[in-house]
Amino acid sequence: MIENQIEIAVQIIRNGGLVAFPTETVYGLGANAFNPLAVAKIFELKERPSFDPLIVHVASIDDLHALTENADRNVIRLAEKFWPGPLTIVLLKSKLVPDIVTSGLNTVGIRMPDNDIALKLIRAANCPIAAPSANKFGQLSPVSAEHVKKQLPNVDYVLDGGNTSVGIESTIVSIEGNVCSLLRPGVITIADIENALPNTFIFNSEKPEKLIAPGLLKSHYSPVKPLYIICNKAFCFPEASGFILHGGKDFIHKESKIIYTSHTFNYLEIAANLFSALHAMEDDEHIKQIFIEPVTEVGLGIAIMDRIKKASYKYQLA
Ligand code: AMP
Ligand code: MG
């Protein structure tokens, strides 16, 4: 019974422990956001650098008022349109939020996940839950309980909610006055925000320079094997290669392992299956290197290529 599992997880959170839990994006590694010692354990277990801030997960839009200083009417409207959902909003933090959660920044990233287990956990624990992705720093994001256990076998507890539905991390925007800056692309695009709230925000595509956070680094989300973006289908691919394709029908390499994230370049399907495909290739001992098909960088394709480029950053075909 998932209710019993949630009850166990709540006790662990209350006692300052760590619980991995499903959201609609990826699995999170959660602690009571108001308990700095518990939050410190997240950085330790993930081997995450202390300069990389955590996202605070809430179960109600009202929590924005207690946790932030500038949740004005437009911010509330933004949350009402997209929460629960894969949109993290970065705002000026209130004194209630411990510095360790935000890596000393005066801002905090907040979101309300669209997942029943996550929402029940946050409500029953009766505190906001600070949670980054439940993986080792820099490695593949987890989209199933098995992926979490592979990378974090020592986590106190894993709530198993099956595979996540969205499959890539939340869109992150920061809001300062009426300026909305995209800090990380995701399934919710700037165009979605513009359409939902016309004439509300001025969009800034320049990432703030002072903000150094790994979600913004060039290399991140990487498998432990070489990953290359396929740029030339006539390339002489070595043996023991794995291919991750999204619908490219003209490309079939007989002796190799092929995983399709989609057969029709459906971007929602590709996002949902991307990390599972990478994990499956990583786990297959016969595969020595992975080749992945690119997608066109429009709409959700921007977020998909963001993850693919970061995951393959160390490896480029000549
Ligand atoms: P993860 O949950 O593992 O995807 O990591 C959370 C990401 O959220 C970080 O790497 C940052 O890029 C971003 N983030 C969280 N809080 C803030 C903040 N206050 N300002 C800017 N970015 C943030
Ligand atoms: Mg992460």
pLDDT digits (tens, 9 = 90+) for 107-149: 999 999 999 999 999 999 999 999 999 999 999 999 999 999 9
Give me the pLDDT at residue 207, please. 64
Report the distance separating Cα 200 and Cα 82, nearest Å.
Answer: 15
- Please report the pLDDT score of residue 255 as a whole number: 67
Q: Above 90 in pLDDT, residue 254?
A: no
215: CB partners within 8 A, 6+ apart: 52, 169, 172, 183, 184
178 and 263 assigned to the same domain: no
Does 165 share its domain with 253? no
Give the Cα separation of 299 and 308 in Å (integer). Answer: 15
Instruction: With beta carbons less than 8 A apart as the criterion, state whether 89 and 173 touch.
Output: yes
At residue 81's C-alpha, the angle toward residues 75 and 84, to 5°, is: 100
Same domain, 38 and 129: yes
Predicted confidence (pLDDT) at residue 250 exceeds the cutoff of 70:
no
Q: Is 172 in the pocket of ligand 1 (CB under 6 A)?
A: yes
Residue 79 shares a structural domain with residue 183:
yes
Residues 140 and 250 in one domain: no
Residues 107 and 251 in one domain: no
Cβ proximity of 311 and 220 under 8 Å: yes
**Pocket residue to mutate for ligand 1, from 147, 183, 222, most atoms within 8 A of Cβ:** 183
Q: Is the pLDDT of residue 6 over 80?
A: yes
pLDDT for 221 equals 85
Average pLDDT, the chain: 94
CATH number at residue 163: 3.90.870.10
Angle between the N-to-C axes of helices 2-14 and 116-125, in degrees from 0 to 180, rounded to the nearest 10: 40
Please give the structure tokens belonging to residue 213: 């956070």
Peptide bond into 84 cis (omega under 30): yes
Domain span at 10: 2-204
Nearest CA to ligand 1 atom 12: 215
219 in a domain, yes or no? no
Is residue 108 in contact with ligand 1, taking CB distance under 6 Å?
yes
- The response to whether residue 211 sits with its C-beta less than 6 Å from ligand 1 reads yes
Instruction: Please give the Cα distance from 86 to 126 (Å, whole number).
Output: 21
Count how many domains the chain has.
Answer: 2
- Looking at the fold, whether 73 and 41 belong to one and the same domain comes out as yes
Residue 217 in domain: no
Phi, psi of 108 (to 5 degrees): -135, 140
- Report the pLDDT value the prediction gives residue 234, as an integer from 0 to 100: 76
In a domain, 283, yes or no: yes
215, part of any domain: no
Distance CA 280, CA 227 (A): 13
Q: Whose CA is nearest to atom 19 of ligand 1?
A: 108
Summarised one tens digit per residue, pLDDT across range 190-224 is 999 999 999 999 998 776 555 545 556 677 888 99
